Structure 1
Amino acid sequence: MRLAPLAATLLFAGAAAAAQLPPVSPSAKPPREVALIGESQPLPPPTPQQAASSELHGVSVADPYRWLENPDDPAVRQWIAAQNAYTEAALAAMPQGKALTARVRQLAITSTARTGPMLAGGTLFYLQQTPPQPQPVLMAKAWPDGAAKVLVDPNTDHGGTAITAYWPSPRGRYLAYGTAEGGSELTTIRVLDVVSGKTLPDTLPWAGGGTTPQGLAWDADERGFSYVRFAPPAPGQEVEQFHATLVHHALGQAAAADRVVFGQGYSKTAEYVLVNAPASAQAAVLAYDGDGGPAEVFLQHGDRFTRVLDRGANVRTAAWANGRLYAAAFRDAPRGRIVAIGDDGKAVPVLAEREGAIQQIAPLGDGFLVVRSWGPDWWVEQYGAGAKFVRRLPLPEHGIGIGEIASESGQPKALISYSGWTTPARWAEYDGNTGTLKTVFEVKPAADYSKVVARRIDGTSKDGTKIPVTVLSLPGTTANGKRPAILYSYGGFDLPVKPGFIGPNLAWLEHGGVLAYANIRGGNENGQLWHAQGQQLHKQNVFDDFHAAALALIDARWTNRAHLGILGGSNGGLLMGTQIVQHPGDYRAVVARVGIYDMLRHETDFANGPYNIPEYGSIADPAQFKATLAYSPLQHVQANTAYPAVLLTTGENDPRVAPWQSRKFAAALQNATASPRPILLLTRMNAGHGVGAPFSQRVGDTAIGLTFFAHELGLGVEK
């Protein structure tokens, strides 16, 4: 599954010869003290080095921290515990923590929030969470004016169980839903009778999650469905999260009787996005070979799957509308064009490339809606029969990102969710006949965000590409050249950084800080060319773009190197790692969550690595190996270098990025840095990549990140 970016609106939310640098000896490490609050603090726990290396294309790559890859080694367990104790003590000593934690929690207690709207048979299904409730609950109501009722509440175990996905049957009689435990994302599917509220005995384990997405498509008669599943493991063995297939389940039968209907032998790193039309039970499969690449498109007719588009079409998203599958294809159209596929399997062009990159398609009336973006700007367009343009929806022109759309073919109204930097999540009912838009639900925030000012500046990357940067501040926070500033981005896997509610991060702005968000290459904000220029052999563009965004903040006098912090997670953690080793003097503090730092080992069978080859390329290719080695953060940690303050976080149950990535990078930085600034590692022992994290963990992570940045960047916070 794509390395999901941590929410942009929540803080938690060289040449080949370089590989032959000799390992740093702990005894050669310069003496230093970590001065947290003006008093001497202990050095980090020692990390011994052991002889290990890899031979790749004739290059010997030293790997002295490889022993940290084994989580079952008692020495590794002891090392993790010691690092956690050291980090917790360091964070506890930061005097800004108490006030920031209290304010973050206060700002996080909003009114009830709703997400994931989906319409089926006249019933609206959605998730609802009332802070500080640990996890969202599944709800249903007759649309539009029926009474809401709780269908599934996972909060009986203190938030350790999360709902991963849900799929209503065509007429809304049943609801299949998935759950996962402890941040693992490995899904078990159950089925609920919506009318009676009773859970059926059907229990289907190994139903995707983590490395490959969950997916389910109901039969037209509502007596069964096809779903994504890993092969059931042998007794006493762990499931192998590769070689996913689609299997068919008949309601009432045992999971062991489910039979494979698609994907046997398709790919070790198969991922399937099932595209449903709930009202008619039509289904299509977007089949991917790993992350970051295009899909093959198959139509499903019972147990028969017919390929209608190959990967050459470069399809990225699709939706059913009026009995035809509408797919966004990017071949020879970097911003995307739309083709329609009928039951005969023939693809017919219906909408040529236009301004803005296609992000989403949804049915409406006798036509469809298209969500588009360009940089940080998002909008929605309506098209009628024959793909005739009707209108651009009357949403704010700037500062919002579009979320889920709940709609059905033949129905003139749609429910559109969106949020913005200063706008909490809203649902707007759009009437395609009249063009009117009215808010039917909105989250009430815990403070006034109306005074937050958003400005746009541009950075210039090494190759001349302009990089949009959105800067957020409060009135009175002037560009005086030394504002404590936090810059965030992601840069990969076709995933955009889009405007979203800043929520608890208002606490940073309230004390004179600045938040900034960069639209760098690797995402799809500007279409597939923007994505492709940040993939594989071109990955260094991503890192150059981010550095250009940082320099733009400095050049615009929002901040300086002594007050600039940077933030990223997952693939954005790799981004942070490159900035640490490529530009150590340009940042004062770095927070990197669940990141990838040893790119030469990421491609092994640990966690999600093999799935990421379409995005990162394979080091089996000599040219890709050379390009990867040139930026892989771990191999470029240099002894006696003054590194910035660093906080790395990871989760013990992370299925997407192996936790040892953070362990090895933390050890290398701790043993190499000549700076008195702390290098900290926090491992959460009952958590994963962050997907499905309970409310308390998300609030805690935000508070920890802001506390660390406040302390290191000099944000004035009352004690």
Structure 2
Amino acid sequence: MRVLVPRLLAASLLFAFGAHAATSPPPPTPKRMVSETLAGQPVNDPYRWLENSAAADVKQWIDAQNAYTEAAIGAMPLGKTLSNRIRELSITSTTRSSPTLAGGTLFYFENTPPQPQPVLVAKAWPDGKTRTLVDLNQGDGSTAITAYWPSPSGRYLAYGTAEGGSELTTIHILDTNTGKPLGDVLPFAGGGTTPQALAWDADEKGVTYARFDAPAAGKPLREFDAYLAHHVIGQPAAKDKVVFGKGYSHVAEYILKEDAGGKATALLANEGDGGPAEVYLREGNGSFRRVLGREADVRAASWVGDRLYVVTFAGAPRGKVVAIGADGKATDVLAEGKGAIQHVTALGDGFLVVRSAGPDWWADQYDARAGFVRRVPLPATGIAIGGVAAEKGQGKALITYAGWTQPTHWAEYDGATGAVKTIFEVKPAADYSKVRVTRVEGTSKDGTKIPVTVIAMDGTSPNGKRPTILYSYGGFGIPVTPGFIGANLAWLERGGVLAYANIRGGNEFGEAWHEQGQKTRKQNVFDDFYAASQALIDTKWTDTKHLGILGGSNGGLLMGAALTQHPEQYRAVVGAVGIYDVPRHETAFANGPYNVSEYGSVSDPVLAKAMLAYSPLHNVKKGAKYPAVLLTTGANDPRVAPWQSRKFAAALQDASSSGQPVLLLTRMNAGHGIGAPFSQRVGNQALAMTFFATELGLGE
């Protein structure tokens, strides 16, 4: 899950195009050996000193690497042309996202490129006049809205903000009738290590929200031990009372779900990322009562009428739906069916279920007795369904979707008639009608079939050497979905090919698909990706001299494992904000313990041994011929430590004998990519595409 722009590139197009290519060796990196034993194996770490970002020598090293990388990128011949085209393609018509209905009012984000940040707007649904409620586009655009929560009647709105990519959220509250803030400011309200969460009281006089303890004077914030606090509107945050979570978990994460009237609230409580949730209902006295444990393997929930519909994967790899009544008792509603359940939303007196099977997504409608009504008539393939906005008792829903060649569409679905009416669509900046989408299939090491979507312009046929970029993610149950290719058209227009692999670790085929890419089975993810890349070669789309790979965050780990396990397979690699020293991710960075549910813990010898077997940093081999590599990171990243990229870059620069460049770019006013302004998003795309164009031989 993302965005990239360096400190010295204040805008996306300010590459130093007159600079010389980096034909000289990279800046030197001293080795200062630290040795230890892990899982009975000796582990040497010559680059641990690079973890201290406050040290003067580390700052100097970062500046030298940035200068080296900028010179190399600036000398690449297609850089200016691609940058201009990417920016041109990125300036679409106004976009909309994240719709929510409350009290007859529709709230959503609206952005008009090249506006740095989306604004938060509201309108009476369906035909009211749009009103801007929050606009943070003053200054450099580095302040972002992280999330928002309308009150049950729509009269008030709580929203979070964060600075410079840090994701650390402060919640504000405003009156939607006047647009004026109420003066309530709730700091340390999650973000980064733990997500934000908020639910309104039914009488709209207070909110329950997730937060960290305020740091002691002169001490840094500890992003652990999040809990739920209750805030009374008009009172200072210092008087907020803890209502749940003190002592719950060191790595607690919360999702709050309130019904349409705010009269009932459910809590999904997790220990870290990627694992199942416990389910609680809020009692009349404000306390929370557990109704389902982790053995139910709950991954999502939504209120349907006065019951909480929960998606559970216990004994149902693709998911089933159970209902929790006010008495806390669970009743089966919908058995496991074809396709993995992604989410459930109320519609009239029934509900909608959004499902997926690999890259295919669809929505099914059910009545109040869970009887199948119909498949929602959306495009049958090539799209992913995003949010579904609906209000209690209403027979219509707002469904958002997008696809490879379709930018965002909003469709009004009438559950009574089955009619679908497009009420909003983004107008792209170019013609995508000549883009063709096909599929191939790879076979992983254990025989598992891996779908790969291939995208090229009409007339671009397989010739065995097409410059091709393969993307995937493979973790935390996050699916690779059909998304609008947008400015990536610049790659296709010049004869390039894009490919997207549905590898294990995501949830495209259900929770079992996710679990087969976790912990001791993480190697399946890397085997799947290799199989996807080999499928592109076997079907003659490309060869090893023209194949590039791209991934970020957990997908950055995928990039590191791919290039160290099969350096001969790829010509160029771009890894963004990635994890490369897997054992140290847990022990030396705040967010690492939150990822134990996905990767396992180094305290377990079996898991530690598995980590060392695939950890990219620990598998760099002196003298190996590594492909061209571009690593990017953000200095304010709260999810993956920037030193991960520093250490891996240093190791590759020292080890590689191929003569291909190993480049590292650190952005000093950026984080993991969440909430990045328009210029950073465009700059990231231009940077990666320029690098791939040069290394893979994209046509002029």
Q: Report the TM range for the smaller structure's normalisation.
A: over 0.9
- Distance of 1:123 and 1:227 partners within structure 2: 22
Tell me the alpha carbon deviations over residues 482-537 of structure 1, each in whole angstroms, 9 at most, x when there is no partner. Answer: 00000000000011000010000000000000000000000000001100100001
Q: How does 1:73-472 map to 2 (within 5 A)?
A: 73-301=55-283, 302-472=285-455
- Distance of 2:662 and 2:19 partners within structure 1: 15
Q: For 2:695, give the aligned amino acid.
A: E
Matched, 1:707 2:690: yes
- Distance of 1:281 and 1:606 partners within structure 2: 39
- Distance of 1:470 and 1:571 partners within structure 2: 20
Q: Which moved more, 1:95-104 or 1:36-45?
A: 36-45
- Distance of 1:100 and 1:236 partners within structure 2: 47
Deviation at 1:107, TM superposition (A): 0.2
Contact map agreement 2:554 2:579 (CA 8 A) in 1: yes
Contact map agreement 1:169 1:278 (CA 8 A) in 2: no
- Distance of 1:649 and 1:57 partners within structure 2: 30
- Distance of 1:650 and 1:232 partners within structure 2: 28
- Distance of 1:38 and 1:414 partners within structure 2: 56
- Distance of 1:490 and 1:331 partners within structure 2: 25
Q: How does 1:581-600 map to 2 (within 5 A)?
A: 581-600=564-583
- Distance of 1:50 and 1:147 partners within structure 2: 63
Deviation at 1:196, TM superposition (A): 1.0
Tell me the alpha carbon deviations over residues 541-593 of structure 1, each in whole angstroms, 9 at most, x when there is no partner. Answer: 00000000000000000000000000000000000000110000100000000
Who is 1:24 aligned against?
Answer: none
Contact map agreement 2:4 2:683 (CA 8 A) in 1: no
Tell me the alpha carbon deviations over residues 676-706 of structure 1, each in whole angstroms, 9 at most, x when there is no partner. Answer: 1100000000000000000000000000000
Contact map agreement 1:139 1:152 (CA 8 A) in 2: yes
Tell me the alpha carbon deviations over residues 126-171 of structure 1, each in whole angstroms, 9 at most, x when there is no partner. Answer: 0000000000000000000000000000111221100000000010
TM-score in terms of structure 2 length: 0.97
Deviation at 1:40, TM superposition (A): 7.1
**Percent identity of the aligned residues?**
66
Partner SS state of residue 76, structure 1: helix
Contact map agreement 2:4 2:680 (CA 8 A) in 1: no
Contact map agreement 1:457 1:552 (CA 8 A) in 2: yes
Q: For 2:253, give the aligned amino acid.
A: E
- Distance of 1:151 and 1:135 partners within structure 2: 14
- Distance of 2:23 and 2:570 partners within structure 1: 22
Contact map agreement 1:11 1:706 (CA 8 A) in 2: no
Contact map agreement 1:208 1:214 (CA 8 A) in 2: yes
Deviation at 1:630, TM superposition (A): 0.6
Partner SS state of residue 353, structure 2: strand
Deviation at 1:235, TM superposition (A): 1.6
Contact map agreement 1:169 1:175 (CA 8 A) in 2: yes
Deviation at 1:281, TM superposition (A): 3.8
Q: For 2:462, give the aligned amino acid.
A: A
Q: For 2:203, give the aligned amino acid.
A: D
Who is 1:488 aligned against?
Answer: 471
- Distance of 2:180 and 2:133 partners within structure 1: 9
Aligned residues: 688
Deviation at 1:303, TM superposition (A): 1.7
TM-score in terms of structure 1 length: 0.95
Q: For 2:636, give the aligned amino acid.
A: N
- State the superposition RMSD in angstroms: 1.3
Contact map agreement 1:279 1:408 (CA 8 A) in 2: no
Tell me the alpha carbon deviations over residues 300-330 of structure 1, each in whole angstroms, 9 at most, x when there is no partner. Answer: 1242101010000000000001011000000
- Distance of 2:269 and 2:688 partners within structure 1: 37
Contact map agreement 1:217 1:281 (CA 8 A) in 2: no
Matching residue within 551, 566, 576 for 2:559: 576
Distance 1:37 1:559, change over 3 A: farther
- Distance of 1:212 and 1:54 partners within structure 2: 31
Deviation at 1:276, TM superposition (A): 2.1
Matched, 1:564 2:564: no
- Distance of 1:37 and 1:535 partners within structure 2: 44
Q: Which moved more, 1:674-683 or 1:296-305?
A: 296-305
Matched, 1:619 2:602: yes
Deviation at 1:428, TM superposition (A): 0.3
Q: Which moved more, 1:618-627 or 1:467-476?
A: 618-627
- Distance of 2:67 and 2:344 partners within structure 1: 48
Q: For 1:117, give the aligned amino acid.
A: P
- Distance of 2:318 and 2:22 partners within structure 1: 55
- Distance of 2:22 and 2:653 partners within structure 1: 17
- Which 5+ residue runs of structure 1 have no aligned equivalent? 14-35
Contact map agreement 2:20 2:72 (CA 8 A) in 1: no
Partner SS state of residue 394, structure 2: coil
Matched, 1:662 2:656: no
Who is 1:498 aligned against?
Answer: 481
Q: For 1:232, give the aligned amino acid.
A: A
Deviation at 1:39, TM superposition (A): 6.9
- Distance of 1:37 and 1:639 partners within structure 2: 30
Deviation at 1:658, TM superposition (A): 0.4
Q: How does 1:543-554 map to 2 (within 5 A)?
A: 543-554=526-537
Deviation at 1:37, TM superposition (A): 11
Partner SS state of residue 648, structure 1: strand
- Distance of 1:42 and 1:187 partners within structure 2: 43
Contact map agreement 1:168 1:278 (CA 8 A) in 2: no
Tell me the alpha carbon deviations over residues 167-210 of structure 1, each in whole angstroms, 9 at most, x when there is no partner. Answer: 00010010000000000000000001000111011001000000
Contact map agreement 2:172 2:186 (CA 8 A) in 1: yes
Who is 1:528 aligned against?
Answer: 511
Tell me the alpha carbon deviations over residues 354-394 of structure 1, each in whole angstroms, 9 at most, x when there is no partner. Answer: 00000011111001110000000000011111111111100
Deviation at 1:282, TM superposition (A): 2.1
Distance 1:38 1:77, change over 3 A: closer
Deviation at 1:41, TM superposition (A): 1.9
Partner SS state of residue 712, structure 1: helix
